[in-house]
Amino acid sequence: MATIFFVGSALAARGFTTAIPDYRVFPEVCFPGFLEDGAEAMRWTVDHIAEFGGDPHRVIAMGHSAGAHIAAMLAFDRKWLLGLGLDASVDLSAMIGLAGPYDFLPLHSRTLKQIFGPENCLGDTQPINFVDAFAPPAFLATGKNDRTVEPGNTIRLTERIRCVGGEAETKLYDRVNHRTLIGAFAGPLRFLAPVLDDVADFALKHTHQQSLHGLPTAQGRSA
């Protein structure tokens, strides 16, 4: 709940209409239950964000850690949103991933093996395997001191996106780890890294481009 407050407040203070949904986790569900929850949340956001001052034509999927995995899967593997009448290449202005696991095979943890299922299906759980040139632009950030999700996930996904002709902006921060990367959204920790500034600048850039391309505009941006 604290994460909801300080991240949501930080983004709202920059002018973004922000929805932070919850999703089911293991052992209540395994893959792809949490992706299905994320897709449902995106459908709700597109349908209702205008009621809160946001623009359904300028929606960004953003997440930290497991949330970044969900955001990346929704952005790159189109089937999750297509099943609910959305197309990531059209309905997402951008994707922002913070310290996300995007290319994390092989699995060594018994718990992770339970969460993500049979070994012969694990390729379907990796965002990096679904990247193509039509995916929304991505901002990918991580801390060089992250010992929870290896920073190579961010580097490899960036390289794959650029290799297929997509757009990816990457930041590797010197002074933060897995927790303090998201903690730097909070006022007392912003001296650690300009994560909030970088996220806001990227989001503004891509929602502004949507406006220039003739889509409806609104006071709020959605994230």
Q: Are 215 and 58 in contact (CB under 8 A)?
A: yes
- Residue 126: phi and psi, rounded to 5, are -105, 115
CB atoms within 10 A of CB 162: 14
Q: How far apart are the first and last CA of the chain?
A: 18
CATH number of the domain located at residue range(s) 2-222 in this protein: 3.40.50.1820
Q: CB neighbours of 127 closer than 8 A, spacing ≥ 6? A: 69, 72, 73, 75, 76, 77, 100, 102, 103, 157
Specify the pLDDT at position 120. 86
* 3-state class (DSSP) for residue 62: strand
pLDDT in tens, the chain (223 residues): 445 689 999 999 999 999 999 999 999 999 999 999 999 999 999 999 999 999 999 999 999 999 999 999 999 999 999 999 999 999 999 999 999 999 999 999 999 999 999 988 999 999 999 999 999 999 999 999 999 999 999 999 999 999 999 999 999 999 999 999 999 999 999 999 999 999 999 999 999 765 443 333 222 334 4
Specify the pLDDT at position 5. 82
In whole angstroms, give the CA distance from residue 66 to residue 102: 10
Residue type, 48: H
Helix (H) or strand (E) holding 83: none
Specify the pLDDT at position 208. 77
Q: Are 142 and 152 in contact (CB under 8 A)?
A: no
